[in-house]
Amino acid sequence: MKRLAAVIVCLWSSFSWLTAQQIPDLSGTWTLDLAPTRVSARPRRDSTAYTLSIRQHGTDVTIVNPIARWGEQEVIYSIGVGERVVEDLSLGTIPGFRRLLRTEAVWNGNSLTLKTTPFGEQRNRDTGSVSVPAGAITSVNVLRLVAGLLTVDTTGFRERPPALLHGIPYDPALDAGLGAGFTEVFRASRR
């Protein structure tokens, strides 16, 4: 029985090592190349070149995005561990409000799929109860290395539509462009 357990542990370690070896290292700095970038059908700010930083250690991938919605954002994803909830410090500290990110990272053959859902926990000062408002948009980023370029296909969806959006009744047509998404192509400035 002990021998069988030792064999299983050795096989599992070998499998884990082989699986980790199949994931290419995306580490480095990547600068947006505007020429091949496909912009979204949904309104967003003008495309400007920026640099994305990626640090990878085993199955942990840290992405630093300097142009995230609320300013520079650093997020750590763990490949293959399922959903994780991490704190989002990009907004700083707001009394009675805690901003969190639900993250998930999955390696599929030649692509890394990252899902990120920001959500807030609001604490009622009087009762102490915590609520999570509806309306968060989940971003789905699919990263691929192709001929030395990093391609990021981004789409999104709303998990739970809100009753009101910016004070008016929510209209699903406003989110039609989320599914169409956009593609960004980055050139390496690898370290």
Contact 143, 151 (CB under 8 A): yes
Buried/exposed 75-112: b ≥16 CB within 10 Å, e otherwise? bebebeeeeeeeebebeeeeeeeebbbbbbbebeeeeb
DSSP secondary structure code for residue 36 in this structure? T
Amino acid letter at 55?
Answer: R
Best CA proximity match to 50, nearest among 35, 67, 26: 67
CATH architecture, domain defined by 26-189:
Beta Barrel (2.40)
Record the tokens describing residue 175, joined without a space: 């989110």
Q: Where are the domains of the chain?
A: 26-189
Contact 102, 119 (CB under 8 A): yes
Q: What is the pLDDT of residue 9?
A: 43
Q: What is the pLDDT of residue 69?
A: 66
177 vs 157, which has greater pLDDT? 157
**Average pLDDT of the segment spanning 49-59:** 90
Q: What is the pLDDT of residue 10?
A: 45
The widest CA-to-CA distance across the chain, in whole angstroms, is 66
pLDDT at 106 over 90: yes
pLDDT at 15 over 60: no
Amino acid letter at 58?
Answer: G
Q: What is the pLDDT of residue 70?
A: 64
**Average pLDDT of the segment spanning 88-97:** 73
Q: What is the pLDDT of residue 40?
A: 55
The SS3 call for residue 113 is: strand
